[in-house]
Amino acid sequence: MGNTALKLVVPTDVNRTNEIKTPLRRPNAELRTREYLTPAEVDRLVEAVRKNRHGLRDSMMVLMAYRHGFRCGELVDLRWDQIDFAHSTLHVRRSKGGKPAAHPIQGDAVRALRKLRKDDPHGEFVFVSQRSAPFSEAGFAKLVERAGRDAGFTFKVHPHMLRHACGYKLANDTGGDARRIQDYLGHQNIRHTVRYTELSPKRFKDFRW
């Protein structure tokens, strides 16, 4: 009778399924030099888009995103029933569970919005495409990025920089009043607001060298 002893065979291939990890996306702070624009840079961006074929619409999208701290989705979803022309007031609806608020609208913006309304007296959305469809988030992102290049910026500009620019300006204007900024931007948690007060150089105005 032959040798019935079994020989242990060590497998040559190793299952590495558990060793493979999906690469994590690096934080935006590591990919970009900064996340906000200064008021002067916003002005350059507005001037750049005014030269577009639909300059009034495009410049108002940039201006409203900046002055009211809109996220991209909030901006393109802006509807005419949110605008009270009689009292120059904008009723802001926030996404991501943010708190709604009523913002004053400056005179130059009121006049520009009236012109847009005259061009589309029965429309529902404030910002629409050539086909009268609501402007898309991707479309606005492309508009802002192109405007950044036209304005001569050496860094890539994206729509959320306008919301951050709003927070940055408010932090400087209010001396870092986080509660007021929180209400204006609709943050649920004030820790999202504090980033703007941390950016404000006015915190260090008493330093002497």
Catalytic member of 57, 67, 68, 163: 163
Helix (H), strand (E), coil (C) string for the chain: CCCCCCCCCCCCCCCCHHHCCCCCCCCHHHHCCCCCCCHHHHHHHHHHHCCCCCHHHHHHHHHHHHHCCCCHHHHHCCEHHHEEHHHCEEEECCCCCCCCEEEECCHHHHHHHHHHHHHCCCCCECCECCCCCECCHHHHHHHHHHHHHHCCCCCCCCCHHHHHHHHHHHHHHHCCCHHHHHHHHCCCCCHHHHHHHHHCHHHHCCCCC
Catalytic member of 32, 91, 96, 202: 96
- Contact (Cβ atoms closer than 8 angstroms) between residue 162 and residue 170: no
Residue 96 annotated to the active site = yes
Residue 192 annotated to the active site = no
Residue 196 annotated to the active site = yes
Residue 164 annotated to the active site = no
Catalytic member of 66, 168, 184, 196: 196
Catalytic member of 57, 67, 68, 71: 71
Catalytic member of 93, 117, 146, 160: 160
- Contact (Cβ atoms closer than 8 angstroms) between residue 75 and residue 64: yes
- Contact (Cβ atoms closer than 8 angstroms) between residue 99 and residue 183: yes
Residue 184 annotated to the active site = no
Q: What is the dihedral of CA 140, 143, 149, 155, to 10 degrees?
A: 10
Residue 68 annotated to the active site = no
Catalytic residues: 71, 96, 160, 163, 187, 196
